[in-house]
Amino acid sequence: MRFACLLLFAAAAYTFAEPTRPNILFIAIDDQNDWIGCLDGHPQVKTPHIDSLAERGTVFLNAHCQSPLCNSSRTSLMMGLRPTTTGIYGLEPWIRNVPKFKDVVSLPQYLSNHGYRTYTTGKIYHGGYGRQKTDKEFDVIGTPAGVGVWPEKKLVDTPAKHKLVDWGVFPHKDEDKGDWKVASWAVEQLRAKPQEPFFLTVGFFLPHVPCYATQQWFDLYPEDTLKLPPFRADDRDDTPRFSWYLHWKLPEPRHKFLKEANEWKNLVRSYLACTSFVDSQVGRVLAALKESGQEDNTIVVLWSDHGWHLGEKLITGKNSLWDRSTRVPLIFAGPGITRAGRCKKPAELLDMYPTLLELCSLPANEKQEGHSLVPQLKDVNAPRVWPAITTHNHDNHGIRTEGWRFIQYADGSEELYDMQKDPNELTNLAGNKQFAAVLEEHRKWLPKGNAMPAPGSHSRILVYKDGKANWELKDIGEDDPIPEL
């Protein structure tokens, strides 16, 4: 009898020591700004499935990326390290090719080390990074990201002639699109009951360019009633010249081209249409999760790597330190998370790593540079002292608090916006002595360490040294005209 009791006690102790871990469904959307219904970024956008997820959990209304570029942003959030630590600022290199960081433990690796079965499909790291078996990032590697179907020739003749920089509608089927195939692979895994606990990452490519959508999604946004984003022709008159250096010469066209080619409405419609299409694919995956019976024990986190301009600040694309480029969807839902929560506290994408570890009752990774959002997932009004910090290239930083956006560029020039009174960042207050105390309060959050670009850095790299700005290995003269303006 005594022996049996000891066995029962030992079994109970083992059960207590090894609680059932929740599964994690990790959904990424590429280049998705705050044009999501629950974020109120565009008054006409239709994203019912993402909005329903937000109602089932907590949405961060003031969430921002660590870098407004795919590789640097995704590297940061997956490794839990800031770009100022890694020196990953451009589209290259893959962090595992940087000797100093080849062994850093990524989020999927950490979860795998603690008993999770890790799956991936679509775009999680930039491009094909992390998808080779030799990368040892995931246990199971599924369908890659891709456009899926292309028109016979480019729909829009953009200045850079880049194949990816295109948008519009042409006859094709949703089922032929890359994101449909990514969603289908995820649905198949959920229906097959993946080994638990699982970490299933699903990375959608749209609304990244080319913004191709089928007619049904364009029909959601009739051209005659379409609302264009806020725009002012003199918007850059009070911003430093250095602000142009961050996106000096890119494939993405300026607003000037959109107006002259009569393409502004077409691009906005295309972006909105692609956003609604991706929302439908998110819906397919969430429906499969519910049908699998695993929803109640699965944490769902949905995020985007950075935002995207559609004419605001006279540009299209990312690569800026304003809200349109940094603000992103960030939604958590599942066990232990407040339902219908709307948190206004600043949040960062690299906070996802420590947050998921805490939600899964796993030991913290002490090398993380983010901060757990669990207090805000339990109480949206819980205090949070940290702002959101975004860095684009060496020594250019944006600091976002609840009420303000502060930007300091590598040459020392600055911007300051009152985000309560001026949410579209139209009036730069940095030169107004009335706000000296606000500036000083935000300067203290500037990163103390600023790594130079990592070895092998390439694509969209800006360096400022000895008073000279250098873009893609070419010096920018003080009087050089701004390209395509």
Q: Which pLDDT band holds residue 7 (cuts at 50, 70, 90)?
A: very low
Q: Which of 65, 70, 343, 360 is catalytic?
A: 70
* 38 is annotated as an active-site residue: no
CA distance 299 to 405: 31
Q: Are 79 and 88 in contact (CB under 8 A)?
A: no
Q: What is the CA 67 to chain-centroid distance, rounded? A: 9
Contacts of 13 (CB under 8 A, 6+ apart): none
Predicted model pTM: 0.95
CA distance 17 to 19: 6
Phi-psi map region of 314: left, alpha, beta (phi>0 left; psi -120 to 50 alpha):
left
Q: What is the pLDDT of residue 19?
A: 59
Tell me the per-residue pLDDT of 195-237, one tens digit each, with 9 for 90 and over.
999 999 999 999 999 999 999 999 999 999 999 999 999 999 9
Pairing of β 397-400 and β 404-408: antiparallel
CA distance 243 to 443: 18
Would you state the structure tokens that stand for residue 460, as one six-digit string? 């969209």
DSSP notation for 192-222: T---SSEEEEEEE-TTSSSEEE-HHHHTTS-
Task: DSSP letter for 453, please.
Answer: P
Tell me the per-residue pLDDT of 336-358, one tens digit each, with 9 for 90 and over.
999 999 999 999 999 999 999 99
Q: Which pLDDT band holds residue 426 (cuts at 50, 70, 90)?
A: very high
Beta-carbon-side half-sphere exposure of residue 169 (alpha carbons within 13 Å): 19
Q: What is the pLDDT of residue 20?
A: 86
Q: Which of 42, 64, 126, 247 is catalytic?
A: 126
Q: Which pLDDT band holds residue 15 (cuts at 50, 70, 90)?
A: very low
Would you state the structure tokens that stand for residue 95, as one six-digit string? 């962090």
Sign, Cα dihedral of 60, 178, 296, 12: negative
Helices (H) and strands (E) in the chain, counts: 14, 21
The residue extents of the domains of the chain are: 20-476
CA distance 469 to 431: 23
Is pLDDT above 50 for 17?
no
Residues listed for the chain: 485
* 397 is annotated as an active-site residue: no
Task: Quote the CATH superfamily of domain 20-476.
Answer: Alkaline Phosphatase, subunit A (3.40.720.10)
